[in-house]
Structure 1
Amino acid sequence: MAVAALPSTSREIQLADLPGGLPGPEHFTITQTPVPLPGPGQVVVRNRYFLVFPGLRTLIGGQADGVPLPRIHVGDALFGPAVGEVVAAAPGGPLRPGDIVTHMLGWRELALVAAADCAPLGDVLPDPVAHLSSGSAAYGALTRLAAVRPGDTVFVTGAAGAVGTLAGPVARLLGAGRVVGSTRSPEKAERLRAELGYDAVVVPGPRPIDEQLASAAPDGIDVLLDTVGGDQLSAAVRAARRGARFALVGALSGQLSPRRDGGSALAEIDTFRLVNQGVSLHGYSGQDHPEVSEEWTRRFGNWLRADEITFPHVRIPGMDNAPRALQELFEGRHFGTVVVELPPG
């Protein structure tokens, strides 16, 4: 067995108490746990980065029916996409110490993972942390469901989030003629225009969404990439042009509501308009399009190297700051993808 100075314990973040609303740092604890040696077909990975993502709200809230991830109970460690280095491997397996991989056991320093559940990283992306982007969902929705066409007007809700900060630029690269976003922060709206090339940004608030959307897209919208749901989805239906294609990739209006449990996001939709305008509306799941991930990674790498796209993200240093980073994500404090960065071993 190949072992590189494997520590006997590792810190991980566990759910300590069920929240009544949105979880905060007080609902989590950082615990020392033993690190077992890898058995046949297993490796130990030292995590360097892991993703902070809103789907944890659903898994903690107990409304994970139909979600392809298990619920998180009190006493369970959190989990999610991570990038790390193999530090121990059972003999005869495909991985060796020093290999850089992605896997789903983030939120801990060292993870015992089945080698089959790890994906080795090559040099397709210039920075390993870019493998934690949510761009695959945006790209898949815009190519498989909404099929962006040259000249289309595309509306991206939640445009300052992990999906939206990539969806707008990707839509442009796919030929969109006008890209409109939404965000609840005027400061983020300016960044979307200045840094990511959004033509206009809707900021829900005192001014009605319909009025803002009519100004931002006076001829209506051809494509919706929706990460929010709720009132913004309702407004998008009212702004749809004939033959519009709607792709739903998230439901943040429900997940981030302190009054809901993270498992539903209600929206009032004018079905007469859907029928009359011939609007298609589909939910996007990566499970239904397994070929998208590799295709996205290849194109993302090419676009990054050609400076045709950026990867907006923030790196939060250290395990101790991870629970606070999750709360800040729920509060909308960050722009783009939120990643916790751990020190090298």
Structure 2
Amino acid sequence: MLPRRLALAGLPALIAAPLRAEPARDGFRRRWAEFRDRFLAPEGRVVDTGNGGISHSEGQGWAMLCAARADDRAAFERLYAWTMRVLKRPADELFAWRFRPEAGVDDPNNATDGDIFIAWALLEAGDRWGRPEWQAQGAAMARDILQRLVRPAGDHLLLLPGLRGFERPGQIVVNPSYYAFPALRALALAAPDPAWFQLVVDGLSLLRRGRFGRWRLPPDWLAWTRGEGRLAPAQGWPARFSYDAVRVPLYLAWAGLTEEPGVTGPARFWQEHAPRMLPAWTDLSNNQLSPYPASRGTAAIAQLSRESAGLSGLSRAARSAPLHGEDYYSSVLVLLVDLAALDRGMS
């Protein structure tokens, strides 16, 4: 367990200093334009083509950040207008997580990672285009995230995945991939509070301890036992390192925390299987591998993780290829890897 007094290498800077966003380069702008043209509906919602055509706050937040970085103000304003009109919750600064074309918003619960990325995107867009009201909204969201979505668990702080449904008798369920460390830095700067530092330290402790299976990998969903602080893959979801958990090494590497086991463990896992088929997931209870390969988006995270861990070079040629044939989620992961590589000076 991470001692409270311990200052990890680079951790004070993670909260105290802004991550300097590198200007988008032509390759990223081209891939963003392709993503926009394929997945952004005219009304401003991002269509999840691999999930029944739904839209969700996570996709809106990711796309808003990418539009801001690509200096695509028209797309950003379309995204923002639809997100505010359809997903904004009336009683707080958070957003409903899911919209179905045939039913509208059918679940008003929020998704914390969606809120985190929407807030980050508003802060960047407000700074880029001189819109202080967007920055003020991003800061207000940051305060609501800290006040409403962070829970004490013993002497730790945990980040709830949403307002409802994750606090169980005897357990709190968390999603390790919601600890988006570069975004948390931006929110901490916009709404300063010492609790951000503790949330980051405790999040790193959680990711260090919450690893399972032969390759010691984080699960998509993780349960914290109240009182004991024992960690286990959460019941109700497959015990897999899969579509959610692949974002753990992405966000750690993006934040420069490249020596964390949340980067080095997945990097070794992917390095071991890279000569053959890169698996889409592994079952952490029996080490079974998926019978089908990972998407290009997961492969891009694998490349970023392996370079960050010093295991291989990043294939810029592979990342610069068009996104033709990839679904929404794979495509947006490629864009996020692009941004991480730009911010870390790796491209």
**TM-score of the superposition, structure 1-length normalised?**
0.28
Task: Choose between structure 1 and 2: higher strand proportion.
Answer: 1
Q: Give the structure with higher Rg (CA).
A: 1
**TM-score of the superposition, structure 2-length normalised?**
0.27
Q: Which protein, 1 or 2, shows the higher relative CO under an 8 Å CA cutoff with sep ≥ 6?
A: 1
